[in-house]
Chains A and B, each alone.
Chain A
Amino acid sequence: QVQLQESGPGLVKPSQTLSLTCTVSGGSIGSGSYYWSWIRQPAGKGLEWIGRIYTSGSTSYNPSLESRVTISVDTSKNQFSLKLSSVTAADTAVYYCARDAGDCDFDYWGQGTLVTVSS
């Protein structure tokens, strides 16, 4: 059973960089034809896809966030990471990591982690 777990600071100051890591267990992040995605959800609002990475390192990002987002993968640690720069209060949200089975089918999700942007 694949499990994902997000980790990282719960509070980030405006203009700084938000950094989160997703640790995958129950399977190798490098096996199979899977993408690994980040998705966020502001309180009381809908889901927003941030971006994805393939184990080869190829990435795809939401055009509205692309200039501020970097997603990377560390297969040796079975982890992938999110960096979002120049954050504002609008970036306050629950951040989820998820496995994408290939066609935007997010079949496994982490429990989510709340990141608040505030001074």
Chain B
Amino acid sequence: QSALTQPASVSGSPGQSITISCTGTSSDVGGYNYVSWYQQHPGKAPKLMIYDVSNRPSGVSNRFSGSKSGNTASLTISGLQAEDEADYYCSSYTSSSTSVFGGGTKLTVL
């Protein structure tokens, strides 16, 4: 299985909104509403931010939102804050009953 495709980096200024894309195929992202997003700060374990395309776990800020169109899922962070600077990963369920991650996106808050 091939890793999902994410941009290597994105950046934005405090208060702005940014969107990170995650592109797969009809065998993963496009075939199921089982895309999740994770935030990882340096030296820390990943944290679930979005599940099932657009659902937020309890305790996650509503500044984080997710969506999907065709084979591409997206994570949008509005009202950027310095603490949002981190690596972000998407993952998806696949038609082989496995999981696959994206390559990760480094978010820089300018």
Asked if B3 is an interface residue, CB under 8 A from chain A, the answer is yes
Using C-beta atoms within 8 Å of the partner chain, give the interface range for chain A: 20 to 34
Do B57 and A63 touch (CB < 8 A)? no
Do A109 and B46 touch (CB < 8 A)? yes
Question: If A47-B89, A49-B91 touch, does A60 touch B98 (CB 8 Å cutoff)?
Answer: yes
Cα distance, A78 to B47, chains bound together (Å): 23
Residues of A contacting B30 in the complex (Cβ-Cβ under 8 angstroms):
none
**Minimum CB–CB distance for B25 against chain A, Å:** 15
Do A49 and B52 touch (CB < 8 A)? no
Asked if B96 is an interface residue, CB under 8 A from chain A, the answer is yes
> Considering only CB atoms, which chain B residue lies closest to A100 in the complex?
B99
Question: If A37-B99, A105-B52 touch, does A47 touch B46 (CB 8 Å cutoff)?
Answer: yes
Asked if B65 is an interface residue, CB under 8 A from chain A, the answer is no
**Minimum CB–CB distance for A102 against chain B, Å:** 9
Which residue of B32, B51, B99 contacts A49 across the interface (Cβ within 8 Å)?
Answer: B99
Contacts of A12-66 to chain B: CB distance below 8 A: 37, 39, 46-49, 51-52, 60-64
B residues with CB within 8 A of A: 1, 3, 32, 34, 36, 38, 45-48, 51-52, 57, 89, 91-93, 96-104
A46-B3, A49-B98 known; 7 new pairs, CB 8 Å cut-off, are A49-B91, A60-B97, A61-B98, A62-B1, A103-B36, A103-B93, A107-B48
